[in-house]
Amino acid sequence: AFAAASPGRRRRPLSDREWRGAIDREGRVAEGKFASVLRRAASDGVAPDIRPEVWPLLLGVRRPESTAVEQEQRRRDRRAGYDALLARRDELEKIVGGSGPGSPSLFRNPPGTNAQSFRSRQKSPFGTRGGTPSEDERSSLNPYVDARVDQRRDHEGRQKRFLATYAESVPVIRADVPRTAFYPGGAFETHWRLERDAEYEYSAARNDSESSETKTKNVPTWQAAQSSRLTNVLVAYALHDPSVGYCQGMNEVAARFLENVVDESEAFWCFAAFLEAYRPHFVISAARDFDDDGVNGGVSVKRSRDAAFLSSWRTPGRRAEQAQREKTNNFVRRREDEDDDRKRDGSEDFGFETRFPRESVRDVLRDLGVILRRCDPPLWKHVRLLHAQECMFAFRAVVVLLARELPPPETTFLWEALMASGDHLAGFPNPPESESDERQVLRESHDPNRRPIVEPGGAGNGRMLLHCVAAVFVQARHLVFGCREFDDLLHASHHAVSKKCFAAAPLLESARRLMAQPWRGGADARQVLEE
């Protein structure tokens, strides 16, 4: 099985006493304490009882300079935004649920598009019955109607886009939620049990004659309540970011946030903020891979392409997968030739794998291959000999953010370290365009409560997570070298994953060491990890 290179010990996590000492009387994070909170969370994690307060701060949902009153106001605003997403879900559910015979639906053709209405439009001068011009035709006669027509078209386009996303995501969500594992001991379970006990005491006080058997009959479990919350969060995120929608694997990530954050709205916004830099991990096919009109046509094409991609990943020994791998390998070879030219020109720098935009999980796996090639050339050479340079063997680890490779407590600590390090932040800061902008950047850089800027070579854009995945295979290179074909490599990675023998602390330490190296002189990653 894969094993960490060093024991990797960590101290006790950030405690409630330390957290209270970092907050002033008005609820702000005290001046100069924000950086220390980030360091403690990145190195040792956060105690479970204060995660509902600290996680929003690490993810940028809560501002360190805001007072308790301002935090409550912003919390209400976020609640209103989350409720608006659920209200939109209810509207779409009515449309989809009422799509039976005799019920109106956006899936059906709008009135006036059948053959009879078409013949009637041909007989009339303006294309409508009785010679009355339609709204679109009136817009060509009266320019003042153009704005209203464009607004109506935009609204219909957005509505159809939301409907297509909802219709595509909800069946998959309803199938995935019952299979999601909920682990006991979280903040939500404790809160649910306390509310249940309080409700029992209230019921007993009102009706003393009620038997205990009747009290506990048909009472839903906390897992059922958690499943309902998870469904709400996943559907809301699909409507919040319809370009991504829902992808299998999101349920495992969202479940960890719902276990530790009691407020459903706060858990949703923390989940959405955490996925900011990891959105491409959940996009199987990028927009450039198919023709998407943004309404209905692109959905079916995207679904068919996604199904073909996933089926080829699940059956790596088939000829279709061989052809797909050859196509990807040609692209990787061209990229490697470009990288060789860049190295000869002396233009290689830290984090050059993030200069190219990521639009899908293919791009994420491409960047993982760049990291492996740069960190361990002999390992990468063997991976190429196995025709696995598209890194499909790391697909599961990349999609679920190492949630299946680590036990639940270690997964939570890994994600806390990514939050505190800013790895979830997407994009690099733009350079100042004027002297006033430069002075503003300088003033903000001296702000003790300002989050450190994401810089190339450091965490951000999901770079640290990719180095954690790379460290997994670099440390288990003996298993990779023992593989003779791609199927062996895929089986070895999944077999090691099933044993869940990783610890997050040594994995993070190895990833930081790999990120700190320039890798210009062909240094071997084994020497760095063993130091």
pLDDT digits 0-9 by tens, 37-81:
999 999 999 999 999 999 999 999 999 999 999 999 999 999 999
Could you tell me if 274 and 253 are in contact, meaning their C-beta atoms sit under 8 angstroms apart?
yes
- The answer to whether residue 304 scores a pLDDT higher than 90 is no
> Measuring CA to CA, how many Å separate 221 from each of 71, 146, 180, 181, 218?
32, 55, 15, 14, 9
Residue 314 or 402, more confident: 402
- Residue 45 φ then ψ, to 5°: 85, -170
Q: Kindly state the average pLDDT of the residues 245-250.
A: 93
Q: Residue 339 burial (CB < 10 Å; 0-12/13-18/19+)?
A: middle
DSSP state of 45: -
- Residue 388 φ then ψ, to 5°: -120, 25
- The answer to whether residue 485 scores a pLDDT higher than 70 is yes
Residues forming beta bridges with residue 29, ordered by sequence position: 23
Q: Provide the pLDDT for residue 240.
A: 96
For the ranges 53-67, 342-356, 388-402, 425-439, the lowest mean pLDDT is seen at 342-356
Q: Look up the pTM and report it.
A: 0.72
- The Cβ-side half-sphere exposure at 382, using a 13 Å CA radius, reads 16
CA separation for the pair 243, 373 (Å, rounded): 31
- The answer to whether residue 147 scores a pLDDT higher than 60 is no
Run of H or E residues at 317: none
Q: Kindly state the average pLDDT of the residues 457-462.
A: 77
Q: Could you give the maximum distance between any two Cα atoms of the chain, in Å?
A: 86
Could you tell me if 422 and 452 are in contact, meaning their C-beta atoms sit under 8 angstroms apart?
yes
Run of H or E residues at 461: none
Q: Provide the pLDDT for residue 405.
A: 85
Could you tell me if 461 and 364 are in contact, meaning their C-beta atoms sit under 8 angstroms apart?
no
The residue with tokens 């509310």 is: 195
Q: Kindly report the length of the chain.
A: 531
Which residue type, as a one-letter code, is found at position 363? D
Predicted confidence band of residue 31 (pLDDT cuts 50, 70, 90): confident
Q: Provide the pLDDT for residue 476.
A: 83
Q: Kindly state the average pLDDT of the residues 233-250.
A: 94
Query: Is the alpha carbon torsion for 17, 18, 22, 28 positive or negative?
Result: negative
